[in-house]
Amino acid sequence: MRRAIALTAVLGALLIVPSASALPPPASCHGCWNPKPTTQPWQWQLQGKIDLSVSAPVYDIDMDVAGANVKAIHDQNDRAICYVDVGSWEPYRSDAGKFPKRLLGRHFQGFPNERWLDIRALHVLKPILAKRFDTCAAKGFDGVEADNVDGYANRTGFPLSGKDQLRFDTWIANAVRKRGMAIGLKNDLDQVQKLLPYFDFAVNEQCFQYRECKVLEHFIDHGKPVYGAEYELPLSKFCSKSVAMGFSTIRKRYSLRAYRKTCS
């Protein structure tokens, strides 16, 4: 009986996890925003009324904001990035009920209401996430920040592998590009070199605090920007390094409201 149960579990896993050894080629993105490295300060605001008085060539804002915010950003000749959580479940999203309970894993550290997703079940997640990307495109966003794409390196409650993550992340990148938007890699530093051809910019948190910024120079070397945020370090501890590396790094509060401090 135990052998039968084990075999069933193995077969079930095989159905969920197709081979990740052969990744698809990066999708082309004709006419898309093609961001370049910059040391100008960006803006990252995911909560509160969007403050358009902030001087920034790039605003990264939540997918659920009104499309009028995107138009207003464009009217200022600035770019708008659409924040989309792809790797964890958020109960307050309008489509939260579409995620099967079996795909909800451990609670997300620091966000007790959120739970990691079983990204191996990509066939289930594809239509849900595709609709989110469609929403970003319909509102006129220039790019997408796909968050929580490093579940394999965290305690998710699922036995996720690096290959599972690569398969998921490359699908995300191609799906966004096919909708006419640039795509940003959020963290996942251990797989930067493999994912670099698929992503157009990087969004990073606290690489200076944790001394992890070196690997992100691969983006700069390939003409792609790095947008960074530090929460705890004072400007004096990262600004000169950020500018020297060609990064755009700001200091934010964890709440990610309009508040920021910049290096210039």
- For residue 5, being part of any structural domain is answered with no
CB 201 within 8 A of CB 227: yes
Q: What percent of the chain has pLDDT over 90?
A: 89
- For residue 18, being part of any structural domain is answered with no
Q: What local confidence, expressed as pLDDT, does residue 16 receive? A: 43
- For residue 136, being part of any structural domain is answered with yes
Give the predicted TM-score (pTM) of the model.
0.91
Average pLDDT over residues 52-66: 97
- For residue 25, being part of any structural domain is answered with no
- For residue 26, being part of any structural domain is answered with no
- For residue 124, being part of any structural domain is answered with yes
- For residue 116, being part of any structural domain is answered with yes
Average pLDDT over residues 209-231: 98
CATH code assigned at 236 = 3.20.20.70
- For residue 53, being part of any structural domain is answered with yes
Average pLDDT over residues 218-231: 98
Strand, coil or helix: 226: strand
Domain that holds residue 178: 31-262
Nearest to 115 by CA among 93, 143, 135: 93
Residues 6+ apart with CB under 8 A from 259: 252, 253
Task: Please tell me the least confidently modeled range out of 5-14, 97-106, 139-148, 152-161.
Answer: 5-14
For the stretch 96-135, pLDDT in tens is: 999 999 999 999 888 889 999 999 999 999 999 999 999 9
Domain tally, the chain? 1
Averaged pLDDT of the chain: 93
